[in-house]
Amino acid sequence: MMKILRAAVLLAVLFATTPLLAVQPDEMLSDPKLEARARALSIELRCMVCQNQSIDDSEAPLAHDLRVLVRERLKAGDSDTQVIDYLVARYGEFVLLRPRLSWHTALLWGLPPVILLGGLATLVMVARRRGAAKDLIETTNLTPAEETRLAELAFDREASDPVQQSH
């Protein structure tokens, strides 16, 4: 009976918890469509203090100010693109969690695929070299004189190796 009670309490606690969001009720817009747009934009914008969180998730005062600014711009009638452009003009590309593709961000976007392709090409080259070396070893036939000389060298090495003699 005690196990069932504990399980019920645990389930109640798990289902009763809700994720805490940084957006405060006083920030939210009364128009649900505008609020949905503001939330969508807030997810795309970086908190300049936290740097790895969106302003939607951050509790930093600057993130609060940016959330309010986004909502003010939307209430003023700006489109989503205009809001983003305004914030980029004011704070730079760094405010975007996913920077735009442009000449000055080409390295940021292009370097990971180049490194991945370079790594794959290196793996292919190493695999081919190993396969070629294996084929070369398998196809190389020693003459009877070479086999005799190889056996002599192996025998001489065993005879002169102190480790081999102790066993």
Q: In terms of domains, do 30 and 69 share one?
A: yes
Tokens (6 digits) for 27: 């920030």
Q: Work out the average pLDDT over 36-40.
A: 88
Q: Provide the 8-state DSSP code for 27.
A: T
Q: In terms of domains, do 28 and 70 share one?
A: yes
In-domain check, residue 4:
no
Q: In terms of domains, do 114 and 91 share one?
A: no
Helix (H) or strand (E) segment spanning residue 18: none
What whole-number distance in Å separates Cα of residue 40 and Cα of residue 54?
Answer: 11
In-domain check, residue 150:
yes
What whole-number distance in Å separates Cα of residue 67 and Cα of residue 40?
Answer: 11
Domain extent, residue 158, equals: 105-166
Do 55 and 84 form a contact (C-beta atoms < 8 A)? no
What whole-number distance in Å separates Cα of residue 97 and Cα of residue 100?
Answer: 9
What whole-number distance in Å separates Cα of residue 73 and Cα of residue 90?
Answer: 13
Q: In terms of domains, do 95 and 114 share one?
A: no
What whole-number distance in Å separates Cα of residue 80 and Cα of residue 133?
Answer: 59
Q: Output the pTM of the full model.
A: 0.52
Q: In terms of domains, do 96 and 110 share one?
A: no
Q: In terms of domains, do 53 and 113 share one?
A: no
Q: In terms of domains, do 162 and 142 share one?
A: yes
Q: In terms of domains, do 82 and 29 share one?
A: yes
pLDDT digits (tens, 9 = 90+) for 69-111: 999 998 898 899 999 999 999 988 888 888 777 777 777 778 8
**Angle of CA points 36, 27, 32, to nearest 5°:** 30
Number of domains in the chain: 2
In-domain check, residue 116:
yes
In the Cβ-directed half-sphere of 139, how many Cα atoms lie within 13 Å?
6
Tokens (6 digits) for 165: 């003699």
7 confidence band (pLDDT: 50, 70, 90)? confident
Q: Work out the average pLDDT over 52-73.
A: 87
In-domain check, residue 110:
yes
pLDDT digits (tens, 9 = 90+) for 114-164: 999 999 999 999 988 887 777 666 666 778 888 888 888 888 777 776 665
Q: In terms of domains, do 118 and 80 share one?
A: no
In-domain check, residue 118:
yes
> Last residue of some domain: 49, 67, 100?
100
> Last residue of some domain: 68, 100, 132?
100
Q: Work out the average pLDDT over 9-19.
A: 70
Q: In terms of domains, do 25 and 65 share one?
A: yes
> Last residue of some domain: 69, 100, 131?
100
pLDDT of 24 reads 64
pLDDT of 82 reads 93
